[in-house]
Amino acid sequence: MILVDGLYSADGDFAPLDEITALAGEHDALVVVDEAHSFGAIGPNGLGVADHFGVLDRVHAVVGTMSKALGSVGGFVLTGKGLERELRYLAPSYTSSRGSAPGVAGASLASLQLVEEHGGDLRARLDHNVRFVIDGLTEAGLNLMRTTSHIVPVLVGDEHKTVAVSNWLMDHGIFVGTFVHPHVPSGEGRLRIGVTSTHTQAECALLVERLTEARNKFSL
């Protein structure tokens, strides 16, 4: 069995699922993909990185969440009948869980409907915002990691400096994720920027402006 993230949350890069599914085929292995950070945002149909690579038919189970792109609560597993039956009877995370509250289920269904009906436009706006932010930060001389997604990590390095920059940004109206050891390798602290389709051009420009100020202030 090969278990892999579709989109890695600390680096913003894709797993090469075209190569992974080919390898699994050679060794008769099951492929399980966690699309938590990619479902709704990646792929021609918004179904994640497996959709992006066109290998959904070679993935045996997709694990996802309602708490990222869909803005709700809960998770899901998409799989075939055989594995579904095993999970229903043997997975403690399912057998010991309870159903979603009606309001939560309604929010999830409404979000799924939005993805189905307007996902293409939302993803196009997301791609535009991502490109604007990456281009602006690159031009400003920030040390970006090789992201391929809406997760844009800025490498800082020292853990204490990473936290200090994050706190300074918060004080100046910008919230970013703070990743330090042990969540990332020691000495590779980073700021994780999460770009969305609803960010305005002015908000994206403000982000670039504040990070440029932080670069000068903290010698990033």
Residue type, 167: N
- CATH (domain of 87): 3.40.640.10
pTM, rounded to two decimals: 0.89
Q: Which of 64, 99, 134 is the last residue of a domain?
A: 99
Give one DSSP letter per residue of 25-69, joined into a string: HHHT--EEEE-TTTTTTSSTTSS-HHHHHT-GGG-SEEEEESSST
> Mind listing the pLDDT tens digit for each residue in 167-207?
999 999 999 999 999 999 999 999 999 999 999 999 999 99
Q: How many structural domains does the chain have?
A: 2
Give the pLDDT confidence score for residue 99 in this predicted structure.
Answer: 83
Nearest to 211 by CA among 177, 180, 169, 170: 169
* Domain shared by 7 and 94, yes or no: yes
Q: Which of 67, 99, 131 is the last residue of a domain?
A: 99
Please state the rounded mean pLDDT for residues 124-145.
96
Look at residue 67 and tell me if it is in a domain: yes
Residue with tokens 């996802």: 64
What integer pLDDT is reported at residue 135 of this predicted model? 96
Residues 30-69: tens digit of each pLDDT: 999 999 999 999 999 999 999 999 999 999 999 999 999 9
- For residue 184, the model assigns a pLDDT of 94
- Which residue matches tokens 């309001």? 103
Q: Which pair of tokens denotes residue 155?
A: 């490498």
Whole-number average pLDDT of the chain: 95
Q: Do strands 189-194 and 177-179 pair parallel, antiparallel, or not at all (unpaired)?
A: antiparallel
- pLDDT for position 1: 95
Same domain, yes or no: 124 and 208: yes
Using alpha carbons, list the distances in angstroms from residue 99 to 84, 105, 208: 17, 9, 42
Query: What pLDDT sits at residue 22?
Result: 98
**For helices 201-218 and 102-139, angle between their N-to-C axes, nearest 10 degrees:** 60
Task: Determine the structural domain holding residue 42 and report its residue range.
Answer: 2-99
